[in-house]
């Protein structure tokens, strides 16, 4: 872990106490869980409580063993069980609700497509047949680069149907980022779309896949291309002969196709989701079929309170884990109706979200603190114009400031909806810390209590547990495994152990009790038993709820010819949570200029994506370094945030931070 973390588990976090809000009685009366015995049930019979989640699914053969912990941290869940995730999300609903809408998709410009479970069944079968025709076999990794259109869940489910793990790369990622993920997964089939709408413009999205295939070392032999307007290919898109195939054509060939869902072992991988870590290389978090699907279905039911008759809207992007778990797999496994929206929340007007909520009579709404801060900035007049009535609201991805929480509660929830603040990660598959909404009072700014069967704790930097509920800050860890956890980092078991386990575990032990999962976050276990999340302790920042590694940004900047050295620091931002500031030393003889600055911004956009664009580029003569030459990013962060500089005497040149500070803030 980074050597400049100063928590030590000693400092009492000085955070203002918040008042509690009771869940409304009308919510409690109808909640999926209102009996507090659930926590004891999961705790006393651990790990067997998790069977309650697995039993929400249809299994082809039941598991023999709930947890095999003989080889930590390579845990196996529901061992011997067999199931198919697509079958559980689609086929099994046909008897009871084939004419119920599964997906209410709304295009940015107002076009729409409403797919019933029967429609979804047909579409998924056609796509599964199409993938098979293109040579995709069980266990081949298929890379998806799809935006928020029905093609995305259809393709994911089609992959699951034939047992091919999908690896969806968020559509906002650049061609280079896509190429990197194609190579890491050694994936030779890519699925993309010609275009999609962003603020009224039909983007040429496919060009990113074209460039990625060119850049990748892997020999991609097939690119499947969906069309945003079926049968009407984007004018600017090129079709590469012998490699590209239009999904529209394939679907026509397989119109009435039926593909039997393949039987998967519970431990067979369902998908990969890449996420940023502390090195330049993103990690492919590998999620298993049985444990993952059980966990997201269980938490969708108990935490999100989803019922089949609800209209549920998670306004995240399926390109991140939130959308995988809580737009696609959990909600569809429960047979509910989900809203999916393609576009920007302020296009064509700032009331767009509430207009959709009113139109579909949404019951459950799910968004990020960044979005809440943005809605707050726009003002209450937008939501006030529309008639909608949420019973349940979720936030995810970042800490929510009490001020934003209170605004969300009042203006969006009308003071009679519950808010659940869910803490979890790409790696954890599903929620780990959050209140079960009917059981515990809400407290603005705190994620809440552990989910059933989950055992979080706070450790100091020396690996010693900090007394529970002592109000002290430290490293957030999870002491026991859970079914939604990642299986490994794709193709790199060693990195899996190094990144998540080594710091707080006895890695020579084969006793599960000696293995502790490091989340990478700082947190406080408050005296009332609630957990308050403080943010990342490693070189990972959180920009508008999206995780970004400083190393990835730094390597993108270092590619720029004029740059000798670069360091990235997270600056707090009222709207986005954090934004990247880039500190750059130029090569000998190069003068700072707008052109160099633009080149740096462009490099980040090209290597990662526009969402990672630096907020500031600061040209400096030198970076603050220790005597051994390690860059002290913490000091840059203090400068970016205009904080006191602490001890700089151990630096090679102690005057450097002051010089940079003068440059940024003036004398
Ligand atoms: C990191 C994980 C899990 C889906 C979205 C992000 C931060 C997440 C909360 C929360 C405070 C949160 C943590 C975590 N985070 N949820 N409710 N309160 N911080 O997934 O990209 O894997 O990022 O997001 O820092 O480690 P991710």
578 close to ligand 1 (CB < 6 Angstrom): no
The per-residue pLDDT for 630 is 87
Confidence of residue 2 (pLDDT cuts 50, 70, 90): very low
pLDDT above 80 (res 3): no
Spacing, Cα 474 to ligand 1 middle (Å): 17
pLDDT above 90: percentage of residues in the chain: 92
Confidence of residue 9 (pLDDT cuts 50, 70, 90): very low
399 close to ligand 1 (CB < 6 Angstrom): yes
pLDDT above 60 (res 1): no
Instruction: Look at ligand 1, atom 14, and give the residue with the nearest C-alpha.
Output: 425
422 close to ligand 1 (CB < 6 Angstrom): yes
Yes or no: say if 153 and 136 are a contact pair by the CB < 8 Å rule.
no
Confidence of residue 545 (pLDDT cuts 50, 70, 90): confident
Query: Rg (Cα) of the chain, in Å, rounded?
Result: 24
Peptide bond into 407 cis (omega under 30): no
Residue entry with tokens 């429609």? 119
pLDDT above 60 (res 14): no
pLDDT above 70 (res 129): yes
Instruction: Look at ligand 1, atom 12, and give the residue with the nearest C-alpha.
Output: 398
How many residues in the chain? 667
Query: Tokens standing for 317?
Result: 């992007």
- Cα 119 from chain centre: 28
Of 273, 425, 451, the residue with max ligand 1 atoms within 8 A of its CB, to mutate for a pocket test, comes to 425
Instruction: Look at ligand 1, atom 21, and give the residue with the nearest C-alpha.
Output: 547
Instruction: Look at ligand 1, atom 20, and give the residue with the nearest C-alpha.
Output: 425
Yes or no: say if 162 and 131 are a contact pair by the CB < 8 Å rule.
yes
Higher-confidence position of 456 and 633: 456
DSSP label at residue 466: P
The per-residue pLDDT for 15 is 56
Nearest to 410 by CA among 379, 448, 440, 441: 379
In sign, the C-alpha dihedral spanning 93, 83, 512, 284 is negative
419 close to ligand 1 (CB < 6 Angstrom): no
Yes or no: say if 298 and 49 are a contact pair by the CB < 8 Å rule.
no
For 21-64, the pLDDT digits (tens) are 999 999 999 999 999 999 999 999 999 999 999 999 999 999 99
Higher-confidence position of 151 and 667: 151
Phi and psi at residue 582, in whole multiples of 5°?
-110, 125
**What does the alpha-carbon distance between residue 66 and residue 417 come to, in Å, rounded to a whole number?**
36
**What does the alpha-carbon distance between residue 332 and residue 551 come to, in Å, rounded to a whole number?**
36
**What does the alpha-carbon distance between residue 470 and residue 488 come to, in Å, rounded to a whole number?**
33
pTM of the model: 0.95
pLDDT above 90 (res 649): no
The per-residue pLDDT for 352 is 97
Spacing, Cα 397 to ligand 1 middle (Å): 4
For 397-418, the pLDDT digits (tens) are 999 999 999 999 999 999 999 9
- Cα 360 from chain centre: 25
pLDDT above 70 (res 11): no
**Mean pLDDT of the region 69-91:** 98
pLDDT above 50 (res 5): no
Higher-confidence position of 575 and 76: 76
The per-residue pLDDT for 582 is 97
Higher-confidence position of 509 and 8: 509
518 close to ligand 1 (CB < 6 Angstrom): no
Residue entry with tokens 């809605």? 375
**Mean pLDDT of the region 516-542:** 95
447 close to ligand 1 (CB < 6 Angstrom): yes
Spacing, Cα 369 to ligand 1 middle (Å): 11
397 close to ligand 1 (CB < 6 Angstrom): yes
Residue 58 CB neighbour total at 10 angstroms = 12
**What does the alpha-carbon distance between residue 283 and residue 275 come to, in Å, rounded to a whole number?**
5
Yes or no: say if 288 and 79 are a contact pair by the CB < 8 Å rule.
no
Instruction: Look at ligand 1, atom 19, and give the residue with the nearest C-alpha.
Output: 398
Query: Tokens standing for 153?
Result: 């869940």
pLDDT above 60 (res 8): no
Phi and psi at residue 329, in whole multiples of 5°?
-70, -50
- Cα 127 from chain centre: 25
Work out the mean pLDDT of the chain and round it to a whole number. 95
**What does the alpha-carbon distance between residue 605 and residue 508 come to, in Å, rounded to a whole number?**
43
Confidence of residue 667 (pLDDT cuts 50, 70, 90): low
For 582-611, the pLDDT digits (tens) are 999 999 999 999 999 999 999 999 999 999
DSSP label at residue 652: S
pLDDT above 60 (res 484): yes
């Amino acid at each position: 872990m980074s050597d400049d973390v100063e928590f030590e588990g000693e400092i009492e976090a000085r955070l203002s106490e918040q008042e509690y809000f009771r869940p409304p009685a009308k919510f409690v009366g109808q909640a999926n869980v209102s009996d507090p015995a659930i926590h004891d049930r999961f705790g006393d019979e651990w790990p067997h409580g998790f069977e309650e989640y697995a039993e929400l699914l249809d299994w082809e053969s039941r598991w023999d063993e709930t947890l095999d912990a003989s080889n930590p941290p390579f845990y196996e869940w529901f061992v011997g069980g067999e199931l198919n995730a697509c079958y559980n999300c689609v086929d099994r609903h046909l008897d009871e609700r084939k004419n119920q809408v599964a997906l209410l998709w709304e295009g940015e410009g107002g076009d729409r497509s409403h797919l019933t479970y029967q429609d979804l069944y047909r579409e998924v079968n056609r796509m599964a047949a199409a993938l098979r025709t293109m040579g995709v076999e069980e266990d081949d990794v298929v890379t998806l680069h799809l935006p928020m259109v029905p093609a995305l869940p259809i393709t994911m489910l089609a992959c699951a149907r034939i047992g091919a793990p999908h690896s969806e790369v968020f559509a906002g990622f650049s061609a280079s980022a896509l190429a990197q993920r194609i190579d890491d997964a050694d994936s030779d089939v890519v699925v993309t779309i010609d275009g999609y709408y962003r603020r009224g413009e039909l983007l040429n999205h496919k060009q990113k896949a074209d460039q990625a295939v060119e850049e990748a070392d892997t020999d991609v032999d097939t690119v499947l291309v969906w069309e945003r307007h079926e049968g009407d290919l984007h004018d600017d898109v090129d079709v590469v002969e012998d490699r590209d195939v239009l999904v529209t054509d394939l679907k026509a060939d397989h119109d009435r196709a039926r593909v039997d869902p393949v039987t998967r072992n519970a431990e067979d991988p369902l998908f990969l989701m890449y996420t940023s870590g502390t090195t330049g290389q993103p990690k492919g978090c590998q999620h298993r079929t049985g444990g993952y699907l059980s966990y997201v279905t269980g938490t969708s039911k108990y935490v999100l309170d989803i019922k089949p008759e609800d209209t549920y809207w998670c306004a995240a992007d399926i390109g991140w884990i939130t959308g995988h778990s809580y737009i696609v797999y959990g909600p569809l496994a429960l047979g509910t109706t989900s809203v999916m929206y393609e576009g920007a929340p302020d296009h064509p007007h700032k009331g767009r979200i509430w207009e959709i909520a009113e139109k579909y009579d949404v019951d459950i709404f799910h968004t990020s603190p960044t979005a809440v801060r943005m809605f707050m900035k726009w003002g209450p007049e937008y939501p006030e114009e529309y008639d909608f009535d949420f019973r349940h609201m979720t936030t995810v991805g970042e800490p929510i400031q009490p001020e934003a929480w209170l605004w969300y509660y009042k203006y969006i929830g009308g003071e009679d909806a519950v808010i659940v603040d869910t803490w979890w990660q790409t790696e954890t598959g599903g929620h780990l810390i959050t209140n079960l909404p009917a059981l515990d009072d809400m407290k603005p700014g705190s994620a809440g209590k552990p989910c059933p069967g989950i055992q979080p704790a706070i450790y100091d930097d020396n690996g010693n547990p900090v007394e529970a509920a002592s109000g002290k800050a430290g490293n957030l860890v999870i002491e026991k495994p859970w079914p939604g956890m990642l299986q490994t980092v794709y193709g790199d078991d060693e990195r899996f152990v190094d990144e998540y386990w080594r710091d707080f575990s006895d890695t020579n032990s084969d006793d599960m009790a000696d293995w502790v999962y490091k989340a990478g976050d700082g947190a406080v276990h408050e005296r009332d038993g609630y957990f308050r999340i403080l943010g990342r302790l490693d070189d990972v920042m959180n920009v508008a709820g999206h995780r970004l590694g400083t190393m990835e940004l730094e390597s993108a900047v270092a590619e720029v010819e004029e740059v000798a050295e670069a360091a990235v620091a997270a600056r707090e931002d009222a709207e986005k949570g954090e934004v990247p500031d880039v500190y750059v030393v130029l090569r000998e003889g190069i003068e700072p200029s707008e052109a160099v600055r633009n080149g740096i911004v462009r490099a980040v956009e090209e290597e990662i994506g526009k969402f990672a664009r630096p907020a500031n580029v600061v040209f400096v003569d030198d970076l603050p370094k220790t005597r051994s030459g390690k860059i002290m990013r913490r000091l840059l962060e203090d400068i970016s945030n205009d904080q006191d500089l602490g001890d700089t005497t151990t630096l090679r040149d102690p005057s450097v931070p002051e010089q940079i500070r003068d440059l940024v803030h003036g004398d």
